[in-house]
Amino acid sequence: MSSPNYKKKLIEEYNILKKQLHDLNENFDQSSDQSSDQSGGIIQGRLIKIPQREVAITNDDKNKIKDVTYIIPKNTLLFRAVEDYKDDLFGIKIKEKSCIPFNYNVFFYFDPYTIDLIPKWFSKFKKIDVYATNEDTVVLNLNIRHLNRGTRWSENPVIENCNIPKDICVTGRDYDPCLKKEFIKKNNNIYGYITMGRSDSQMFRENIKKANKEVAQTVHKIKSHKNEIGPAELGLYPLKNRKPEDIYINVKDQDKFLNSNKYVYRHITTLVRNPNIIRNFMQKHAADRKEGYFFIYK
């Protein structure tokens, strides 16, 4: 039987998170296309305001925490700069096979211009790969006080550093958050998260001040639990049937695997990083939703 103190603690946690959800809705108000950063400067662009729902995040039946998730709509356009887009579909190459680790994240932005504002990671890539979500997709919000990139260092039932799991085909990077295996077992309908990186955001805020109007009004931003503004980064697991186990694929069987499995997203095209080419693609294929945040593929 639960003690009065335990029940009181649960009620306090629920009220805290309820207030955070209210604050998120207030903070993500899109009455204007301009938002002030902490230094008082104006950062233009789209501030995230998207459909939300609650999901139970549990260690066990006695420890439940409510948290916010986002719904990424069907056919949302996603953009990414990489050497070979096939890694996004089949995972990491290991000799004659490729492997999709159980905690695999493929990182995207919601517009093609954010990539140019973070040159540290993307200046060497000459092309941008374009994707779209196949269905409405549920992801976690890693931008609140109790759940963010920083909490991957602490005891929590949700995320950890990607390099922590050892029973895995490919060890991830220590600066990325990954969903824990036990969390995936209980929440296999959650395919990733939205977050923002601190160093990326600092670079983003500096470079957007020098960007032209077209770029400044198109980039997609998000506000952190510390009230910092930066680029909205989406990490997704590729496969619709998510399991807490590694998936191995023979390189020669990749086409067969692609045709016989449901994916969270699909590859649309590869664009040369030329402003006119990107502009033409967006004018032809990017339709705004009523919410004014996502670009929907048309």
Which residue, among 293, 135, 115, has the nearest Cα to 207 in the 3D structure? 115
| Lookup: tokens for 20 | 């955070």
**Whole-structure pTM value:** 0.78
| Environment class of 106 (CB within 10 Å of its CB; exposed 0-12, middle 13-18, buried 19+) | buried
- Cβ proximity of 287 and 295 under 8 Å: yes
Residue 157 pLDDT grade (very low, low, confident, very high; cuts 50, 70, 90): confident
Phi/psi at 254 (5° precision): -65, -45
- Residue 132: per-residue pLDDT: 97
- Residue 26: per-residue pLDDT: 40
The residue ranking higher by pLDDT, 145 or 273, is 273
Q: Rounded mean pLDDT of the chain?
A: 78
| Least confident range of 126-130, 181-185, 254-258, 292-296 | 292-296
Residue 8 pLDDT grade (very low, low, confident, very high; cuts 50, 70, 90): low
- Residue 25: per-residue pLDDT: 41
| Lookup: tokens for 79 | 């953009």
User: Is it the case that residue 56 has pLDDT exceeding 60?
Assistant: no
Which residue, among 70, 121, 113, has the nearest Cα to 236 in the 3D structure? 70
- Residue 177: per-residue pLDDT: 87
User: Is it the case that residue 173 has pLDDT exceeding 60?
Assistant: yes
- Cβ proximity of 66 and 136 under 8 Å: no
- Residue 20: per-residue pLDDT: 47
pLDDT digits (tens, 9 = 90+) for 202-256: 888 888 888 888 888 888 888 777 777 888 899 999 999 999 999 999 999 999 9
User: Is it the case that residue 292 has pLDDT exceeding 70?
Assistant: no
Distance of alpha carbon 170 from alpha carbon 102, whole angstroms: 10
Distance of alpha carbon 204 from alpha carbon 201, whole angstroms: 5
User: Is it the case that residue 89 has pLDDT exceeding 80?
Assistant: yes
- Identify the three-state secondary structure at position 46: strand
Mean pLDDT throughout 100-125? Answer: 89
